[in-house]
Amino acid sequence: MIDLYTFTTPNGRKASIMLEEIELPYAVHIIDITKGDQFTPEFVAINPNSKIPAIVDRETDITVFESGAILIYLAEKAGKLLPTDPKNRFWVLEWLMFQMGNVGPMFGQLNHFKRFAPEKIPYAIDRYEKETLRLYGVLDHQLEKHEFICGDYSIADIATFPWVAAYEFQGLTLNNHPHLKRWFETVAARTPVQKGMNVPLRS
């Protein structure tokens, strides 16, 4: 059994999608980041950085935080969605790191400055919107050549999907990136993805 500590954010949904894909039993513990639950001593003991998601594997007594590390851990535990041959393994890992180092931070900054910042700063909105669209282009180019980001469906797709799924929230469109749009619709149609995107259940 996996204990999943999560909330309704793109990073949180990476972990729940992965758990649905590999069909491991898990228990959901809601960490409401709007109420400061991530700063409680109980959660800080699990993740000293006070961020969701985090997991505790009851079978191994292993705790993992950082969403990318969680995806790798679960892929290795299940023997799914991460190739074992070095060439393809590192192909998936580099695109996972692309998401962690580019897609997540840049899309997240756009979300913040466009939707949550108390003051609308045109320079910041323009900067992060341009970078988000540039990253759309990088993904679109990759997906022109491959059905999924690294050929076969993998943790690279799982990591990237919840962030791209925020495009309407950001006031953007995928219509100018047809390969990215095709990929998005394909991944969105997967039953485990639909289930994982609804964890924790929206009230």
User: Could you tell me if 39 and 55 lie in one domain?
Assistant: yes
Among candidate residues 18, 49, 80, the one where a domain is terminated = 80
> Is 201 part of any domain?
no
Report d(CA 78, CA 23) in Å as an integer: 9
Given the DSSP bridges, would you call strands 62-65 and 26-30 parallel, antiparallel or unpaired?
unpaired
Cβ density class 53-89: b for 16+ within 10 Å, e for less: bbbbbeeeeeebbbbbebbbbbbeeeebbbbeeeeee
pTM for the structure as a whole: 0.96
pLDDT per residue as tens digits for the range 52-74:
999 999 999 999 999 999 999 99
User: Could you tell me if 55 and 99 lie in one domain?
Assistant: no
Nearest alpha-carbon partner for 8 in 24, 23, 30:
30
Among candidate residues 80, 115, 146, the one where a domain is terminated = 80
pLDDT per residue as tens digits for the range 131-144:
999 999 999 999 99
User: Could you tell me if 96 and 182 lie in one domain?
Assistant: yes
User: Could you tell me if 33 and 126 lie in one domain?
Assistant: no
> Within 13 Å, how many C-alpha atoms sit on residue 177's CB side?
22
> Is 173 part of any domain?
yes
Sign of CA dihedral 110, 14, 150, 169: negative
pLDDT per residue as tens digits for the range 6-26:
999 999 999 999 999 999 999
Name residue 37's amino acid: D
pLDDT per residue as tens digits for the range 163-191:
999 999 999 999 999 999 999 999 999 99
Q: Give every CB contact of residue 143 below 8 A, 6+ residues apart in sequence.
A: 149, 179, 180, 182, 183
Specify whether the CB–CB gap between 71 and 159 falls below 8 A: yes
pLDDT per residue as tens digits for the range 98-153:
999 999 999 999 999 999 999 999 999 999 999 999 999 999 999 999 999 999 99
Domain count, the chain: 2
Residue 22: domain span: 2-80
> Is 202 part of any domain?
no
User: Could you tell me if 110 and 128 lie in one domain?
Assistant: yes
Report d(CA 14, CA 11) in Å as an integer: 5
